[in-house]
Structure 1
Amino acid sequence: MPFARLASATTPTSRLGLGLAAVGRPGYINLGRDRDLPPERTVDALRTRTHELLDAAYAQGVRYVDAARSYGRSEEFLADWLARRPDAADVVVGSKWGYTYTADWSADAERHEVKDHSLAAYERQSAESEALLGDRLDLYQIHSVTPDSPALTDRELHARLAEAAGRGHTVGFSTSGPDQAAAIRAALAVRVDDEPLFRTVQSTYNALETSAAPALAEAHEAGLTVIVKEGMANGRLAGPEAPEELRAVAGETGQGCDAVALALALRQPWAGVVLSGAATALQLASNLHAAVVDLTDDQLTRLAGLAEDPRAYWERRGRLPWH
């Protein structure tokens, strides 16, 4: 698996990756975007910001980058950066298919993305991803699988994904929603020629949403690499929006709420890679301090009290505005 390259990295931040959801398009649901992004969110402005983040991440030891077809022009921005950074041959690149970006570079679009897990969507989007990223694409994931996703039962799709794996791609899936655990367990049962199809799983896990943890532990035990996304709950665990108990623990550690939130994910024994969704180099530097945060048993117990009912968590996430 390409992710074995991460395990052999020697830098403290090798288990932290950079996700490009927040900078590949002008509109997203993260809190604080008015503070984080340039007033004019042109294609060139966000291309420049993405390249600045990638430069900073690489310099600080980050070796996994996460994009998606629905993250606006994230794959394009990443491909441009890889072309001008031949020294970054050790970067592992992941992307996702299953959502189509429909906002036409507007932060105020009525719909920003459309979900489609059909074979036709895979064929179209995989061709688009490969046209941009070529042989630099290591991991290709189904985007936001839920228990009712046709991607879990479409045997023709499974055969095509297995063909991609035979050509050298790692095949994975991501999950979203209050039933992540059920989606993970259903995906673990998918086999082609009596072999497991999926080699990675990327799921939401943070101090507020912990419900997928048992299923992620099962995935890890089954040999999958686990990637944690939304470790800061789309900004709810950072800065002034952070819960009081998290702010208290952060004060005790001498680090920011963001670093503590990501450290909580990093310390899970099943977590292989934890994503930073930073939109500025300063945020990224603060996020990467998670690698040195050492949480005590008392602090972990206090943070465990922040967990919300998953349906309430996802209902609130669904109300976050695109801005």
Structure 2
Amino acid sequence: MPFARLAAATTPTCHIGLGLAAVGRPGYINLGRDRDLGADRSVESLRARTHELLDAAYAQGVRYFDAARSYGRSEEFLADWLNTRPGLDDIVVGSKWGYTYTADWTTDAERHEVKDHGPATYARQRAETDALLGTHLDLYQIHSVTPDSPALTDKELHAKLAEAAARGTTIGFSTSGPAQADAVRAALAVTVDGEPLFRTVQSTYNALETSAAPALAEAHDAGLTVIVKEGMANGRLAGPDAPQALRAVAEETGLGPDAVALAFVLRRPWAGVVLSGAATTAQLFSNLHAAAVDLDEDQEHRLAALAEEPGAYWDTRGRLPWH
């Protein structure tokens, strides 16, 4: 398992990863993108921004980097960075397949990505990922599995994924939607020749959306590495958009709401890696303070009280505009 490298790391920030969803393409649903990215969202501008973030993250002890085929040019940007910095053998590189990026480097496309979990899409996207990341790729995840995803029952796909695992690629999956817990449990039951297929799970968990916690604890107990995405709820738990209760706890700690929001997630005993989705180095440095936040029982209770009903949370997320 490549994540054993993180277990050997000595810096607390090794349990914080950097996700590239916000900087691999010009449009995304995170709040505050006009402020964070400004007007220049050319390929070269975002390439330079991504490399700056990767340099800063690595220097601060971050060792997991997360991309996806649908994150615009995120794999390309990550590959460029890796290829000009040889010898980084202590990092873990993950990517995802299952969505095709269709926005053609615009922010106002009718559809930004198209989902397909079939074997043909896997074969095509795996070849595309290999062409960019090659031997750097440690983890390949099915992107956004839901309980009704054909990826959970497609034996042909399972065989292809098992072949990749036999060649040394760790196979995982990510989840989205109000039924994340059901998707996690269904994926835990997938086996090939009597052996579990998946070794990692990446799910949304934050102070507003806690419903997957029991299933993620089960996944951890089953030996999977749990990666947490959207710990700041696409910006709803950061800066001026954060709830008053979170801002109050942040003021008590002397750190930002973003750091407190990520600290809340890091305190889960099943959370192996918690992703920062920073778009600027200032955001990244603020996020990384989460490793130093020591929440007391009262503060954690006040943050836990922010949880929303899963259907309401995902409805709100679904209405966030791409911009």
| TM surpasses 0.5 | yes
Shift of 1:126: 0.4
Shift of 1:88: 2.1
**Which residue pairs with 1:76 in the alignment?**
76
**Which residue pairs with 1:291 in the alignment?**
291
Within 5 A, what are the aligned runs for 1:1-323? 1-323=1-323
Tell me which amino acid in the other structure corresponds to 1:25.
Answer: R
Shift of 1:294: 0.3
**Residues of 2 paired with 1:190 and 1:121: CA distance?**
20
**Residues of 2 paired with 1:60 and 1:86: CA distance?**
18
**Residues of 2 paired with 1:100 and 1:308: CA distance?**
30
- 1:101-152 per-position Cα deviation (integer Å, ceiling 9, x unaligned): 0000001111000000000000000000011000100000000000000000
Shift of 1:258: 0.2
* Kept in 2: contact 1:206–1:261 (CA 8 A): yes
Tell me which amino acid in the other structure corresponds to 2:103.
Answer: A
**Residues of 1 paired with 2:256 and 2:30: CA distance?**
18
**Residues of 1 paired with 2:273 and 2:176: CA distance?**
17
Tell me which amino acid in the other structure corresponds to 1:262.
Answer: L
Moved more, 37-46 or 284-293: 37-46
Q: Percent identity?
A: 81
TM-score, scaled relative to structure 2: 0.99
Secondary structure of the residue that 1:34 maps to in structure 2?
A: helix
Tell me which amino acid in the other structure corresponds to 2:194.
Answer: D
- 1:64-104 per-position Cα deviation (integer Å, ceiling 9, x unaligned): 00000000000000000001111422211000000000000
Shift of 1:39: 1.1
Tell me which amino acid in the other structure corresponds to 2:8.
Answer: S
Deviating 4+ runs (over 3 angstroms): none
Tell me which amino acid in the other structure corresponds to 1:56.
Answer: A
Moved more, 83-92 or 290-299: 83-92
**Residues of 1 paired with 2:177 and 2:75: CA distance?**
25
Secondary structure of the residue that 1:202 maps to in structure 2?
A: strand
Secondary structure of the residue that 2:258 maps to in structure 1?
A: helix
**Residues of 1 paired with 2:5 and 2:229: CA distance?**
20
**Residues of 2 paired with 1:130 and 1:179: CA distance?**
31
**Residues of 1 paired with 2:98 and 2:62: CA distance?**
26
Secondary structure of the residue that 1:201 maps to in structure 2?
A: strand
Secondary structure of the residue that 1:143 maps to in structure 2?
A: strand
**Residues of 2 paired with 1:283 and 1:89: CA distance?**
26
Tell me which amino acid in the other structure corresponds to 2:218.
Answer: E
**Residues of 1 paired with 2:160 and 2:197: CA distance?**
11
**Residues of 2 paired with 1:165 and 1:116: CA distance?**
21
- 1:244-303 per-position Cα deviation (integer Å, ceiling 9, x unaligned): 000000000111000000001101000000000000000000000000000000001111
Secondary structure of the residue that 1:88 maps to in structure 2?
A: coil
- 1:193-229 per-position Cα deviation (integer Å, ceiling 9, x unaligned): 0000000000000000000000000000000000000
Secondary structure of the residue that 1:322 maps to in structure 2?
A: coil
Gaps of 5+ in 2: none
**Residues of 2 paired with 1:250 and 1:39: CA distance?**
31
* Alignment coverage as a number of residue pairs: 323
Secondary structure of the residue that 1:106 maps to in structure 2?
A: coil
Secondary structure of the residue that 1:127 maps to in structure 2?
A: helix
Tell me which amino acid in the other structure corresponds to 2:175.
Answer: T
- 1:150-201 per-position Cα deviation (integer Å, ceiling 9, x unaligned): 0000001000000000000000000000000000000000000000000000
TM-score, scaled relative to structure 1: 0.99
- 1:13-32 per-position Cα deviation (integer Å, ceiling 9, x unaligned): 00000000000000000000
Gaps of 5+ in 1: none
* Kept in 2: contact 1:38–1:45 (CA 8 A): no
Secondary structure of the residue that 2:237 maps to in structure 1?
A: coil
* Kept in 2: contact 1:258–1:287 (CA 8 A): yes
